[in-house]
């Protein structure tokens, strides 16, 4: 099995045993699937989210750390960053998965607080985590930031304009910070899944067996993390083979 140099360590391909990974929104759905995959590849894995019960349930299943954190709150994120620094003194992988939907109808009828909730979690929350954890990634010798976006960040989404806006913004943020951080040996990638069988969004009339599954997204995360260090995929658009 080939070896390659990554940061300060010589790693075996598909082996993340010397890396520390944080997955936001890791208590369920895509986040839990990603955390399960990373832990299975040997990474010291931490999941965070707002629901303590869901976090603890997932953490027990995959034997990982869990922290309660609201990514839309700067004080909550900065406190988590300080705790990770004190506990592990490094971070190698940041997966920004935390997100909420906003599919309640046309934008002109959307409550103001709903707009704020979607944008604050899906976009501002990623700014907060990058702001808080990029210094630790830099100090660790480099690493990977993977942002989970959506195909809604590339296509029109009637009755989901706030969600689409948050994901279009996330894509632009991802491309820009990739340029800012590549000199620090930090690769930034964005994954844009199509219809995925999770609790996040309505799937009325769709066949869940034809939809993407959370494990499909986790598989792409693993692919990105095990690329040779001289390259990175800045964007992956993931679609189901058949239209649901």
Q: What span, in angstroms and rounded, lies between the C-alpha atoms of 195 and 206?
A: 9
Tally of CA atoms within 13 A in the half-sphere of 77 that contains its CB: 25
Q: Of 209, 177, 181, give the one whose Cα is nearest residue 195.
A: 209
Q: What span, in angstroms and rounded, lies between the C-alpha atoms of 213 and 29?
A: 9
> What three-state secondary structure class fits 73?
coil
Q: Which of 161, 163, 174, 187 is flagged as catalytic?
A: 163
Pairing of strands 3-6, 93-96: unpaired
Q: Residue 125 corresponds to which tokens in the numbers above? A: 């929350």
The answer to whether residue 175 is catalytic is no
- List residues with catalytic annotation: 163
């Amino acid at each position: 099995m080939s070896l390659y140099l990554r940061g300060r360590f010589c790693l075996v391909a598909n082996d993340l045993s010397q890396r520390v990974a944080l997955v936001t929104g890791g208590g369920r759905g895509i986040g839990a699937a990603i955390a399960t995959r990373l832990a299975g590849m040997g990474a010291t894995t931490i999941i965070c989210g707002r629901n303590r019960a869901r976090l603890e349930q997932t953490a027990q299943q995959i034997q990982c750390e869990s922290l309660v954190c609201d990514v839309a709150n700067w004080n909550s994120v900065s406190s988590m960053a300080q705790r990770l620094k004190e506990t592990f003194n490094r971070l190698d992988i940041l997966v920004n998965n935390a997100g909420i939907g906003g599919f309640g109808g046309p934008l002109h009828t959307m409550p103001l607080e709903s707009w704020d909730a979607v944008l604050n979690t899906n976009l501002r929350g990623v700014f907060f985590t990058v702001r808080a954890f990029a210094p630790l990634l830099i100090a660790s010798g480099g690493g990977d930031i993977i942002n989970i976006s959506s195909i809604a960040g590339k296509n029109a989404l009637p009755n989901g304009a706030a969600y689409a806006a948050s994901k279009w913004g996330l894509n632009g943020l991802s491309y820009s910070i990739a340029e800012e951080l590549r000199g620090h040996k930090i690769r930034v990638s964005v994954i844009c899944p199509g219809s995925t069988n999770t609790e996040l969004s309505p799937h009325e009339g769709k066949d869940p067996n034809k939809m993407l599954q959370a494990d499909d997204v986790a598989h792409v995360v693993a692919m990105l993390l095990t690329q040779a260090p001289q390259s990175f995929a800045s964007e992956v658009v993931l679609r189901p083979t058949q239209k649901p």
